[in-house]
Amino acid sequence: MHKFIEFIKRKLKVQLMRLLKPILDELSLTTYRTYGSSKKLFIHPSAKVSNSLFNTFSGDIKIDEFAFTGHNVSFLTGTHNYNLSDMERMIDIPLEGNDIHIKKGAWIGSNSTIIGPCIIHENAVVAAGSVVVNDVEKNTIVGGCPAKFIKIINIC
């Protein structure tokens, strides 16, 4: 009887995992983490972010309508004073001034890092793996480390 109960437990566990796996996978791909105050993060309901990191320690982050990201994008407002050292460098963090604004229709490729302060304007595209340290003009593609202009987009 004991072997039968163990067999049923294993079968139930397998069936439960088959049911839960798609849900857990979807949650892991569509959730994000906030380091700092979540009150400084504004994501429009029509925007889509995929398992991104939002560091709001030194500024606000705003994601406008229809903007979207690939996976593992980091939005970093936090910074430290590199002229200091040791504990002073570690704890001297500004609380504002490094805002990030992702405007309507912008697309941020997977594994990119956006470092504030910067604005990624309407319909801009950031290539996967890029590091953005300056504003990105509307209807342009940028890429690289640091991200540089690649081309203008002809919006239909």
**39 and 99 inside one domain:** yes
139-143 CB contacts, 8 Å cutoff, 24+ apart: 143/109
Write phi, then psi, for 130 (nearest 5 degrees).
-80, 160
For residues 82-92, average pLDDT: 90
Asked if the model's pLDDT at residue 150 lies above 90, the reply is yes
Joined together, the tokens standing for residue 150 give 């690649």
Q: What's the pLDDT at 146?
A: 97
Mean pLDDT score, 133-145 = 97
Domain that holds residue 20: 1-30
- What's phi and psi for 133, nearest 5 deg? -125, 0
Task: State whether 61 and 16 are in the same domain.
Answer: no
Give pLDDT, residue 124: 98
Is the pLDDT reported for residue 75 higher than 80?
A: yes
Q: How many domains are contained in the chain?
A: 2
Same domain, 45 and 105: yes
Residue range 14-72, pLDDT digits in tens: 787 787 777 666 655 567 888 899 999 999 999 999 889 999 999 999 999 999 999 99
Same domain, residue pair 78 and 121? yes
Say whether both 86 and 116 belong to one domain: yes
**CA dist., res. 150 & res. 126, Å (int):** 10
Q: Measuring CA to CA, which residue among 39, 146, 134 is closest to residue 96?
A: 39
Residues 85 and 117 reside in one and the same domain: yes
pLDDT exceeds cutoff 80 at 134: yes
Residues 15 and 77 in one domain: no
Residues 16, 47: one domain? no
Question: Residue 43 maps to which CATH number?
Answer: 2.160.10.10
* Residues 9, 86 within the same domain: no
82 and 101 assigned to the same domain: yes
- Least trusted range by pLDDT, from 39-43, 93-97, 106-110, 145-149: 93-97
Tokens of 1: 């009887």
Q: Between residues 115 and 27, which one has the greater pLDDT?
A: 115
Query: Is 71 in the same domain as 118?
Result: yes
Q: At 121, give phi and psi (nearest 5°).
A: -75, 175
pLDDT of residue 91: 86
- Mean pLDDT (the chain) is 90
pLDDT reading at 93 higher than 90: no
Is 54:102 a contact under the CB 8 Å cutoff?
no
Pair 85, 139 in one domain:
yes
Supply φ then ψ for residue 50, to 5 degrees: -115, 115
